[in-house]
Amino acid sequence: MDNNQALSQAHCSYLQEMEQEPVAETWDGEPIYENEEYFDIEGEYVINEIDALRDYLNEHYTLKTAGRG
């Protein structure tokens, strides 16, 4: 597959996602689409992405440093 085919396929995939209806919603109101991975954390959905997980943890938990109380 050449670069143009790969780019075209990625673009089509993006457009298909834009046309889909969400099947659920994350804890912060973002859509969850079919086949998208997420965590169910005590009834709240968090997308399986580093930034989304970090945002959730920062919003719900206190970050501590060992040895500093």
* CB neighbours of residue 47 within 10 Å: 21
Q: What's this model's pTM, rounded to 2 decimal places?
A: 0.66
pLDDT tens digits for 20-51? Answer: 899 999 999 999 999 999 999 999 999 999 99
Tell me the C-alpha distance between 13 and 31, whole Å: 17
- Tell me whether residue 39 is exposed, middle or buried, using C-beta atoms within 10 angstroms of its C-beta: 0 to 12, 13 to 18, 19 or more: middle
Is there a contact between 46 and 39 (Cβ–Cβ < 8 Å)?
Answer: yes
Residue 16 confidence (pLDDT) above 70 = no
Provide the pLDDT for residue 18.
63
Tell me the C-alpha distance between 30 and 38, whole Å: 12
Residue 12 confidence (pLDDT) above 80 = no
Q: Where are the domains of the chain?
A: 22-69
